[in-house]
Amino acid sequence: MSEGTITGERRGEPPGDATWPEEIYRVLRDFGVTQFAYVPDAGHKVLIDLSLADEAVSSVPLTTEEEGVGLLAGAHLGGARGVLLMQSSGVGNCINFLSLAKGGQFPFLMLVSMRGDFGEGNPWQVPMGQAVEPVLGAMGVLCIRADEAREAAAAVRAAATMAFQSGQAVAVLLTQKLIGAKPF
Amino acid sequence: MENAPEFSLDRNEAVPRLVGRHEDFLVVAGLAGTARDLTYLSGDAPHVFALAGAMGAATTMGLGLALARPERRVLVVTGDGELLMNVGSLATAAVINPPNLAIVCVDNGHYGETGYQKSHTSLGVDLEQMAIGAGIRTTRTIRREEEIPEASRLIREGNGTSFVLMRVRPNESPPHKRDLDPTSEKLRFRGAVLDGGPDLPRP
């Protein structure tokens, strides 16, 4: 199938009229976030594009999600703020590096677009999707779920406050109720 | 222990010569050997952050630090095992290519901390070639002492990220007892580097 025939919905993107991705981006910039680390995901498409178009920030593509944990730890050592954008399957890749959060009390902010939860049609996504909260919890990362468009920006604002003012590691889970389940 | 001819330098002499004035850099050191190398030679200086876990994080920590402090030179000094664990981080560093970042791999071909098992670099893997393939344009492999001065200049200058592979014998790094608490290391580092802390927004 050619790229042109795949709709955004088919890729698991938020609906085209959704404004919450832009609202989230504004919240992150208001908090002084200047490093956007990501492994591409349809649920983060708008955020990634906004960061790529913003000359005031560094947009850093990763080969694997744990690189983002390292990057954000380095940013903190240098007095800068970052955010890690990833899909839920990438959470599993981050676990050992999150020793920096639990053992080193580095602040972390991550936005996780969920797969394997509400309405998932791909069985491969279910095990890691369902493990996201327990494994993040085991590594000391606080989870805030955003199920609806009207609460997404507020969830990111809350998480950024907890990360950058209280020094916590916080993940915002952008659920499939919010983003929509990718059809199979 | 086998000692292939290309693994010939003594790290206890070659690393200090390559790094030179450690105060020229903000340093992220990898685990075990390179952590002891750098904390020993700097006298546990606060501008050296040495890992003792999160194996594979050194290069991306250096990248995040280099982006955060563009006015400072950032030096990552890590081992072959640590770099191999997240070798894709070379690709991530290369595509961002900060001019103030240099990566030094002290390659002894072994996992020294766990009993000197051979690493992939003793078995044919060439990390300089992987760095080149990742897109890092300025790279060197150092096998002899006379090659050190040029590399020591190279990690202090340049328009993009540089990578230096230093082949060393699998001998011990200094038996230095360093601080293993990542929180205290972090606070010391930020205290020294940020000079009172950045003025970041609280919206």
For chain B, the domains span 11-193
Average pLDDT for B185-198: 87
CATH number assigned to the domain covering B11-193: 3.40.50.970
> How high is the pLDDT of residue A2?
45
Rounded Cα distance, B2 and B117, in Å: 11
Specify the DSSP element, H or E, that contains A90.
Answer: helix A88-94
For residues B36-54, give the mean pLDDT.
96
pLDDT at A183: 76
pLDDT in tens, B9-18: 999 999 999 9
pLDDT at position B3 is 56
pLDDT score at B202: 84
> Which of A77, A84, A156 to mutate to probe the B interface, most B CBs <10 Å?
A77
DSSP helix/strand/coil, A173? strand
**pLDDT average, residue stretch B89-109:** 98
Given CB atoms, is B203 within the 8 Å cutoff of chain A?
Answer: yes
- State the pLDDT at residue A184: 76
Q: Which of A7-21, A52-66, A96-110, B151-165 has the lowest mean pLDDT?
A: A7-21
Tell me the pLDDT band of B100, cut-offs 50, 70 and 90. Answer: very high
pLDDT at A180: 84
The reported pLDDT for the residue numbered A42 is 87
Rounded to 5 degrees, φ, ψ at B166 are -115, 115
Task: Provide φ and ψ at A71, rounded to 5°.
Answer: -60, -45
Query: pLDDT at residue A133 above 80?
Result: yes
Q: What is the pLDDT of residues A143-167, one digit of tens each?
A: 999 999 999 999 999 999 999 999 9
CB contact under 8 A, A78 and B63: no
Predicted confidence band at A4 (pLDDT cuts at 50, 70, 90)?
Answer: very low
> Can you tell me the distance from the alpha carbon of A183 to that of A122, in angstroms, rounded to the nearest whole number?
9
Q: Per residue in B156-192, is it b (16+ CB within 10 Å) or e — as a string? A: bebebbbbbbbbbbbbebeeeebeeebeebbebbbee
Average pLDDT over all residues of chain A: 93
* A3-179 belongs to CATH 3.40.50.970: yes
* A6 pLDDT higher than 60: no
Please count the other Cβ atoms lying within 10 Å of the Cβ belonging to residue A5. Answer: 7
**Closest Cβ–Cβ partner in A70, A79, A105 for B194:** A79
DSSP lists the bridge partners of residue B117 as B111
What pLDDT sits at residue A14? 81
| Run of H or E including B49 | strand B48-50
A98: which DSSP letter? G
Please report which confidence band the pLDDT of residue A13 belongs to, taking 50, 70 and 90 as the band edges. Answer: confident
How far apart are alpha carbons A28 and B106 in whole angstroms?
A: 38
Tell whether B52 is within 8 A of chain A (Cβ): no
Q: Is B183 on the interface with A (CB under 8 A)?
A: yes
